[in-house]
Amino acid sequence: MPTHLTRLRRPTRSRRRVVAMATTAVIAAGGLTTAGPAGTAWAGSRPDAIGQRVEKLVGTDRHPGALAAVRDRRGRTQHHTAGVGDLRTGAKVPKNGRVRIGSASKMFAAVVVLQLVGEGTVDLDESVETYLPGLVRSPGVDADAITVRQLLQHTSGLPDYTDTMFPRMIDIPPYQHVYLEPRDLLDMANAREGGPAGDWAYSNTNYLLAGLIAQRVTGRPFNELVTTRVIERIGLRYTYAPGVGEEGIRGRHPKGYQLDEATGELLDFTRMDPSWGWAAGQLVSTPADLNAFLRALLGGKLLNPAQLAEMRTTVAVHPQSDLGYGLGLFRTPLSCGGVAWGHGGDIPGYSTVNGATEDGRAATLVVTSLNGSVTDGSVAADRAALVDAALCAK
């Protein structure tokens, strides 16, 4: 059973709708889209000012803990921590501790599929029905008209299975220790109404299907594919795909917390079954490993030039937004000029924002609860400003 630790004031915002890994494009992108004036004000900040920003993210009305890794133009990495890593004991947040990264996992899944494209095993413009005949059955969806590219780009029109699981925040705790197979998740999606392909609309179902395609064409488990083709290939020491039934987080890690709206208390959500995230969001990593992944990706160490170019070919996420989405990767303008590439993510207990630039700068920030679990609504903008500032620092 979940452990009740800390009572908070009941949040006053009425929305409380959760799509558990990357609830909005802002968080999925790394939170940079809200940087605006705040990001501009922090451009050129000294490293100690970044540390002060990390400290500002934690507190009674904010997140229990925060940890960040920032790599500057000269290749130097600074680590920052704030708050507490365990509300029961008061233990500190471990530097570069392991965390669940939610939808940041989609970058890894996209790389696996794009590697298969480069090898001629998968065709980006082939129908999903070619690879997974009869599996996509959502009302209003034409599986023959959906391509692999549209899965990776979130332009498929497919409904999101997490909308069935978590229509409200109060629906999250019952799933803490529930194991779900990928086909169970697909059944949830198939029971929901979809729409025609074309417009950008974030759906975890897209990456569920991408993982199933990778398994089908290789004959190997997805976790093995992401481990051998990505994690081991570039030597990420602290990143891994949890095994079946593995609920804990290996090694040093801060505890993650989730608001229980029924009681107004924070639950210790560190131990959970992440199977429902699967290819869309179950990986565990650290801030420094995520920075290393982004640098390796942009540096051409994971994909051939043609596939990396495909990954960075973006569509607008909204007509009035300058945020773009490629194939598992967001393109976000920086307040100091240029762009950042990345993909953050939410999963109960942890929220990740990140970004990296062509010249080797990278920043990843993790907090130990979702934005929906805090009562101070300004915290999301503070996170956005911090990552923008870190990437723009002189």
- Is pLDDT above 70 for 27? no
Separation between Cα atoms, residue 96 and residue 116, nearest integer Å: 32
**Nearest CA to 42 among 26, 27, 30, 54?**
54
Q: Which sequence positions are flagged as catalytic? A: 103
pLDDT digits (tens, 9 = 90+) for 166-203: 998 889 999 999 999 999 999 999 999 998 999 999 99
Percent of the chain with pLDDT over 70: 88
Cite the DSSP H helix spans in 239-286: 278-281
pTM given for the model: 0.90
Domains of the chain: 3-392 (3.40.710.10)
8 A C-beta contact, residue 354 and residue 104: yes
pLDDT band at 372 (very low <50, low <70, confident <90, very high): confident
